[in-house]
Structure 1
Amino acid sequence: MRLVVARCSARYTGRLTAHLPLAKRLLVVKADGSVLLHSDGGSYKPLNWMSPPCSMAVAAPDAEAAGRGVTEVWTVQHRKSDDRLEIEVHDVVHDSAHDLGVDPGLVKDGVEAHLQELLAAQIDLLGSGHTLVRREYMTAIGPVDILARDGGGATVAVEIKRRGEIDGVEQLTRYLDLLNRDPLLAPVQGVFAAQEIKPQARVLATDRGIRCLVLDYDTMRGVDDPDSRLF
């Protein structure tokens, strides 16, 4: 992982257009190719980013940009779309690289682990005809919660969260990118399953062709029977 603290501006073009004016920011370049721009506020979410598969090229600025104080231009191009992130780097305060090694993956808390177990046992909640392939299907960047087949034999990858937010959709997107490179699995459909799915996460999932599934934890574990409710 490379960490750069610098004054920079950025412009994202493609499915949307966004601009970040000149300011001091943290630029993160990960081993999987993703590039993220962070500020010192706004919690954990980046201001802008490019997810893999993508490639990054670093070039010297043209005369006009150099006159504005630009020292480097980073161009991050998505390999499957026209999406592009262009970063103009001015003054670099810090630049370091770190080998983080292989991450063991996220350890689920009790509820998420139990949701995974329950959904594996009630796989028909994904739809009639679905069958379980396995839980914790390992990929190069971590385990997919559930791998299944639909009634037609197509592969289905399921990411499970207690609360479904944008980060979970991004995580499932990375898994799908990898799984769809395997000719024995492709094409792989994605299902984002959670007890609650935030509107922004649902919009992003729909845009990426990922199906959303809301899980009723109490019903799945037999605590609450919807058929016996009065209202």
Structure 2
Amino acid sequence: MRLVIARCSVDYVGRLKAHLPSAVRLLLVKADGSISIHADGRAYKPLNWMSPPCAIAEEEGVWRVTNRAAEQLVITIEEIMHDSTHELGVDPGLRKDGVEAHLQVLLADRPDAVREGLTLVRREYETGIGPVDLLCRDTDGSTVAVEIKRRGEIDGVEQLTRYLARLNDDPALPHPVSGILCAQSITPQARMLAGDRGIACSVVDYDALRGLEPSIPTLF
């Protein structure tokens, strides 16, 4: 991972245009090829980012980051205050909470609950940057990666996007590999971003999967 603290301005050029005026920011370049621009606020959320795979061309005072769709982040650097690179190694991945882990077990036995016709190929299929929860096969023989969350949010979409970029470069899999974000509930923002990324969304009922009555009573 490369960490650069610099005074810079950032322009996004793609389906729309966005501009970040000059300020001191953190540029975070990961080994998976992604780059994100952070301010000293907004918690973990970047001001702008480019998901992998993307190429970074460094010129004097300008970084040009281009993704597969030919969208660009143009980072104009006025002053670099810190520049360091660190080898983090392979991350063991996030340990899921009880509900999320149990959902994965239940859906591995019932992948058709995610989408009718899905059959399980493997649980915890390694992508090189972490395991995708379920690798499945659809009725047409295509490969489907399913990421399971208790609550589907933007982070889950970003995580699955990174996995799909790696899976679509995996020579052992039929291509293209599509993705489904599966959760008990999915936020409108996550649904919108998933739609933009070509990722499907699936909402499942945890109690129904366990064979229980709904936790919230219904009238009918």
TM-score bin (small chain): over 0.9
Give SS of 1:49's match. strand
Does structure 1 residue 136 correspond to structure 2 residue 130? no
Paired with 2:115 and 2:206, the residues of 1 have a C-alpha distance of: 17
- Preserved CA contact (<8 Å) 1:6 1:92: yes
Paired with 2:16 and 2:24, the residues of 1 have a C-alpha distance of: 23
Q: Which amino acid is the alignment partner of residue 10 of structure 2? A: A
> Structure 1 vs Structure 2: percent identity of aligned residues?
64
TM, length-normalised to structure 1: 0.89
Partner of 1:160: 148
Paired with 2:90 and 2:199, the residues of 1 have a C-alpha distance of: 27
Q: Residue deviations 1:4-27, cap 9 Å, x none? A: 111111000112211101111111
Q: What is the CA RMSD across the aligned residues, in angstroms?
A: 1.6
Paired with 2:134 and 2:29, the residues of 1 have a C-alpha distance of: 29
- Preserved CA contact (<8 Å) 2:115 2:202: no
Q: Residue deviations 1:144-197, cap 9 Å, x none? A: 100111122211100011111111111111111111223432121210011111
Partner of 1:217: 206
Give SS of 1:31's match. coil
Pairing 1:82-121 to 2, within 5 Å after superposition: 82-121=70-109
Pairing 1:1-231 to 2, within 5 Å after superposition: 1-60=1-60, 72-78=61-67, 80-183=68-171, 184-225=173-214, 229-231=218-220
Partner of 1:65: none
Rg (Cα) greater in structure = 1
Q: Residue deviations 1:31-90, cap 9 Å, x none? A: 111111000111110000111111111112xxxxxxxxxxx1111111x21210000111
Paired with 1:122 and 1:210, the residues of 2 have a C-alpha distance of: 20
Unaligned runs of 5+ in 1: 61-71
- Preserved CA contact (<8 Å) 2:114 2:182: no
Which segment is superposed worse, 15-24 or 178-187?
178-187
Unaligned runs of 5+ in 2: none
Give SS of 1:28's match. strand
- Preserved CA contact (<8 Å) 1:8 1:88: yes
Paired with 1:225 and 1:153, the residues of 2 have a C-alpha distance of: 34
Paired with 2:26 and 2:197, the residues of 1 have a C-alpha distance of: 27
Paired with 1:168 and 1:75, the residues of 2 have a C-alpha distance of: 27
Q: How many equivalent residue pairs?
A: 218
Q: Residue deviations 1:76-126, cap 9 Å, x none? A: 111x21210000111222111111111111221111111101111111112
- Preserved CA contact (<8 Å) 1:169 1:205: yes
Q: Residue deviations 1:130-156, cap 9 Å, x none? A: 211111111111101001111222111
Paired with 1:32 and 1:43, the residues of 2 have a C-alpha distance of: 22
Give SS of 1:171's match. helix
- Preserved CA contact (<8 Å) 1:38 1:48: yes
Partner of 1:67: none
Paired with 2:56 and 2:27, the residues of 1 have a C-alpha distance of: 13
Which segment is superposed worse, 125-134 or 194-203?
125-134
- Preserved CA contact (<8 Å) 1:10 1:20: yes
Paired with 1:96 and 1:157, the residues of 2 have a C-alpha distance of: 34
